């Protein structure tokens, strides 16, 4: 029974997916806002969206208004201005990751959200993943003792999965491009979800392989999460194997989320066997359907946001610090002693 009325803003890669996945929940009626007219028409027809707008002004000006909530899927530097415009008019917002590419306007947005009493959250996908949520709960319950280390290893051949990467926001850091803001932010945000916010970082990043762009495609981060938990995040966007694991090592056991092997598992016996805690579907839409359902539960007051705007801001602060330090790290030469 559709009772949410949702505007998808930007129906490129992720916007079309959100449109499809919100529709799949059967809990929402959908309309869209997209300046590329041909794309807007094609996507609207594909999913039977009856209203489409060429701009946010046109969407907000239409009466009677066709939506109460907007999912902001335009490139990242546009997220905060769009969110402020929507919240000002009392519209709930679900904002794609990363929250933004700078801190501009975010404090005002947070105050506006409180003043207007709307629901707002950041679409940090992994926080809605049932396996990540179950693993977080097991860690929080103390099943493995105190967390002491996070090791996150991500790699994928970006051109295979996003052949258009040279023609989209990815090419420039100003529009949210580069490995740090585009992909590493998912890992960092998930790590913060699992063990708490990152307090301090060191990093190295470079453009190593991807043709046709100059932004970084390879990143190494070491960090400390709250309470001194040591962290280590590696990522590249050019290797052949798909790898995506986040391992949380605790005093009495180890927990691992492994996206490509579709499970989270644990090991408590030294030299023992991995115990599969949860096996999940590898169908990519499923996680977005979970995310859509969870967000609509939040709208209905039945759940807390998986990632609040304040939590999105914390991860943004990590991104911005990494961008400041990762291209000129303080190396210690290994000379003759």
Ligand X SMILES: NC(=O)c1ccc[n+]([C@@H]2O[C@H](COP(=O)([O-])OP(=O)(O)OC[C@H]3O[C@@H](n4cnc5c(N)ncnc54)[C@H](O)[C@@H]3O)[C@@H](O)[C@H]2O)c1
> What does the binding site for ligand X look like in residue numbers (CB under 6 A)?
9-15, 33-36, 39, 56, 73-76, 78, 96-97, 123, 125, 168-169, 176, 182
The residue with its CB nearest to ligand X is 12
Question: Which of 123/322 has CB closer to ligand X?
Answer: 123
Give, in order, the Cα–Cα distances in Å from 239 to each of 205, 210, 217, 235, 246: 16, 10, 10, 10, 18
Strand 147-155 relative to strand 263-267, pairing: unpaired
Structure tokens given for 34: 């997209």
Question: Which of 86/135 has CB closer to ligand X?
Answer: 86
Nearest distance in Å: CB 309, ligand X: 15
Nearest distance in Å: CB 79, ligand X: 6
d(CA 286, CA 129): 9
Question: Which of 176/191 has CB closer to ligand X?
Answer: 176
97, 286 contact by CB (below 8 A): no
28, 296 contact by CB (below 8 A): yes
Q: What's CA 37's distance to the chain center, in Å?
A: 27
Structure tokens given for 321: 């610090």
Nearest distance in Å: CB 257, ligand X: 15
Give, in order, the Cα–Cα distances in Å from 116 to each of 54, 84, 92, 106, 302: 26, 11, 10, 15, 20
Question: Which of 3/13 has CB closer to ligand X?
Answer: 13
Select from 86, 73, 90, 94 the least CA-distant residue to 28.
94
Structure tokens given for 287: 């996680």
Nearest distance in Å: CB 39, ligand X: 6
| Dihedral sign of CA atoms 319, 281, 239, 246 in order | positive
Question: Which of 72/139 has CB closer to ligand X?
Answer: 72
Nearest distance in Å: CB 182, ligand X: 6
Nearest distance in Å: CB 291, ligand X: 8
Question: Which of 34/204 has CB closer to ligand X?
Answer: 34
Nearest distance in Å: CB 323, ligand X: 15
Return the SS3 of 139. Answer: helix
Question: Which of 75/147 has CB closer to ligand X?
Answer: 75
Nearest distance in Å: CB 76, ligand X: 4
Q: Which helix (H) or strand (E) holds 323?
A: helix 309-325
* Angle (deg, nearest 10), helices 37-47 and 13-24: 20
Question: Which of 40/326 has CB closer to ligand X?
Answer: 40
């Amino acid at each position: 029974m559709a009772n949410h009325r949702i505007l998808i803003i930007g129906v490129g890669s992720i916007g079309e997916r959100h449109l499809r996945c919100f529709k799949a929940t059967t809990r929402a009626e959908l309309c869209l806002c997209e300046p590329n007219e041909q794309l807007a028409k094609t996507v609207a027809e594909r999913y039977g969206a009856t209203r489409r707008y060429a701009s946010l002004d046109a969407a907000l000006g239409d009466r009677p208004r066709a939506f109460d909530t907007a999912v902001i899927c335009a490139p990242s530097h546009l997220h905060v201005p769009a969110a402020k415009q929507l919240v000002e008019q009392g519209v709930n917002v679900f904002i794609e990751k990363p929250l933004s590419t700078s801190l501009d306007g975010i404090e005002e947005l947070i105050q506006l959200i409180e003043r207007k009493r709307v629901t707002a959250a950041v679409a940090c996908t992994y926080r809605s993943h049932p396996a990540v949520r179950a693993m977080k709960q097991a860690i929080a319950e103390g099943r493995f003792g105190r967390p002491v280390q996070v090791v996150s290893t991500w790699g994928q051949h970006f051109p295979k999965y996003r052949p258009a990467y040279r023609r989209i926001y990815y090419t420039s850091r100003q529009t949210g491009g580069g490995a740090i803001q585009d992909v590493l932010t998912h890992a960092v945000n998930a790590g913060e979800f699992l063990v708490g916010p990152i307090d301090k970082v060191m990093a190295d990043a470079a453009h190593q392989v991807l043709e046709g762009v100059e932004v970084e495609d390879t990143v190494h981060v070491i960090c400390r999460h709250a309470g001194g938990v040591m962290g280590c995040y590696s990522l590249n966007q050019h290797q052949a194997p798909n790898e995506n694991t986040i391992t949380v090592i605790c005093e009495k056991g180890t927990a691992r989320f492994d996206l490509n092997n579709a499970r989270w598992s644990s090991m408590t016996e030294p030299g023992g066997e991995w115990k599969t805690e949860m096996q999940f579907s590898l169908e990519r839409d499923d996680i977005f359907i979970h995310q859509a359902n969870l967000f609509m539960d939040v709208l209905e007051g039945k759940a807390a946001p998986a990632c609040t705007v304040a939590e999105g801001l914390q991860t943004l602060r990590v991104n911005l610090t990494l961008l400041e330090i990762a291209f000129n790290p303080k190396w210690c030469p290994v000379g003759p002693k």
